[in-house]
Amino acid sequence: MVSTVSAVESAPVHPIPLVQGFTPDHPPDYAEILRCTHCGLCLNQCPTFRVLGWEPDSPRGRIYLMRAVAEGRLELNPDFREHMEVCLACRACQTACPATVQFGRLVEAARWQIRHTMPIAPGERLLRAVAFGLILSHPTLLALLSRGLWLYQAAGIQRMIRKAGWLNRLPRALQTMENMLPDRIPSRGMATGRVFPAIGERRGRVALLAGCVMRTLLAPIQEATIRVLTRQGFEVVVPRGQVCCGALHVHAGERHRAQALARRNLKAFMREEVDAILVNAAGCGVAMKEYGELLNDDPRWAEAARAFSAKVRDVTEFLDAAGLRPLPRRLSGRVVYQDPCHLAHGQGVRAQPRRLLRAIGLTVIELPDGDLCCGSAGIYNITHPEIANALLEEKVAQIRRIAPDRVVTANAGCMLQLAMGLRRAGLAIPVQHVVELLDEAGGNSPG
């Protein structure tokens, strides 16, 4: 076995492409690896490097390791796996990189290589099969799980367990999952196969991704999104047959499962004639905008995937470009806007949510390092709770110093993570999605 240190000490140049230590099935792009100049501008922007201070847990260090594997100087081993998996895949390094290296795609490809070449413990294999192969792939099962969580909350079981302190007896991952539950889980999720007519003069027709967490635990945000869009003159269709976007699968190296979900979504959305395909969860938006890359080698679906991705827009991106119709209410107060990583770094959408918030009367206060990850990162706060909590505690400390009236973001994971952190700190500051405030300005009562 070649050590990590000796493998990265020298890096000879080889003809492109190289896959020596990887398999030919979608390895990290060697040409993209070579574009890294090792300047180090990414280091301070990397959450794991800031917490751990360890070069292999920086974007530059991970690229060194990928290059060493591609050139046959390092084999895929547990150390390589750990350095790839401790990454949040937040893509902040992409924003900082002067060479615009697409690190997110590199680390996702590395994780895919790990998944189908390295042995997996039986427990992890079972967990992946249940989470990625069943629950996230079948909306009916997800709806049943959400219904069970509603009963757990509505029947007072959650209150009793928390009061008795029994949560502390659970494994750390289950504690985090329970602590992240919304204060009020809806009794019913969002139905698909429906069309909502535009109000007033019609400005266009859009399709909306129902999502996973968004259609179940955060279904009221989907309802608010539809109200906002229809009031703005857009007919909204929620296509029947759509499934999870596959973002969590791609992040976890479950590439083939993500491809299967993408194909199902293409079938569902391609039946509709729409001007745009909208999403209100940042991680989902990145995944859908990259369907063209995900299915690039599929001769049947590649062209359709590229056409699909070209229509995908975050809802804040879309509304900002369309321009808001006058709303009946103006809101007041100071809000902190937390940039979701996959919106700011993955899609380059930063100014748009802020413009929308200011347009309805709110004062937007910036956090120091506001675009640094809050530690959610899909399921990262469950798989790596120590690092996730370190990032969250810093974020909560900054919010405490500013003392805003509300914390606003545009992604499900960020909302749940920030709400959990503020609740733990005893801060009664609501965490809301941008569309919830737009809905309130449109006349809908909050809460």
Q: Which domains does the chain have, with CATH numbers?
A: 4-117 (1.10.1060.10), 122-179 (no CATH), 194-320 (1.20.1050), 329-441 (3.40.50.1860)
pLDDT band at 446 (very low <50, low <70, confident <90, very high): low
For the chain, give the percent of residues with pLDDT over 70: 95
d(CA 35, CA 54): 22
Residue 445 is predicted with a pLDDT of 67
DSSP 128: H
**pLDDT tens by residue, 191-243:** 999 999 999 999 999 999 999 989 999 999 999 999 999 999 999 999 999 99
CB-based contacts of 144, cutoff 8 Å, min separation 6: none
Averaged over 380-402, what is the pLDDT?
Answer: 92
Residue 179 is predicted with a pLDDT of 85
Averaged over 127-132, what is the pLDDT?
Answer: 82
Tokens standing for residue 293:
């890359």
Averaged over 301-309, what is the pLDDT?
Answer: 97
Residues recorded for the chain: 447
SS3 433: strand
Beta strands 234-238 and 194-196: pairing type? antiparallel
SS3 189: coil
d(CA 114, CA 84): 9
d(CA 218, CA 189): 8
**pLDDT tens by residue, 69-112:** 999 999 999 999 999 999 999 999 999 999 999 999 999 999 99
Of residues 2 and 386, which shows the higher confidence score?
386
d(CA 12, CA 59): 20
Integer-rounded Cα Rg, in Å, for the chain is 22
**pLDDT tens by residue, 27-61:** 999 999 999 999 999 999 999 999 999 999 999 99
Torsion, CA 216, CA 218, CA 222, CA 224, rounded to 10: 140
Of residues 193 and 129, which shows the higher confidence score?
193
The helix (H) or strand (E) run that includes residue 164 is helix 157-164
Residue 5 is predicted with a pLDDT of 43
Least confident residue range of 136-140, 265-269, 295-299:
136-140
Tokens standing for residue 192:
């698909």
Residue 2 is predicted with a pLDDT of 39
Least confident residue range of 30-34, 145-149, 406-410:
145-149
The helix (H) or strand (E) run that includes residue 206 is strand 204-208
SS3 302: helix
List, in sequence order, the alpha helices (H) in 242-314.
247-251, 255-270, 282-289, 291-294, 302-311
Residue 133 is predicted with a pLDDT of 81
Q: At what angle do helices 78-85 and 103-117 cross, to 10 degrees?
A: 140
Tokens standing for residue 365:
């206060």
- What is the average pLDDT score of the chain? 91
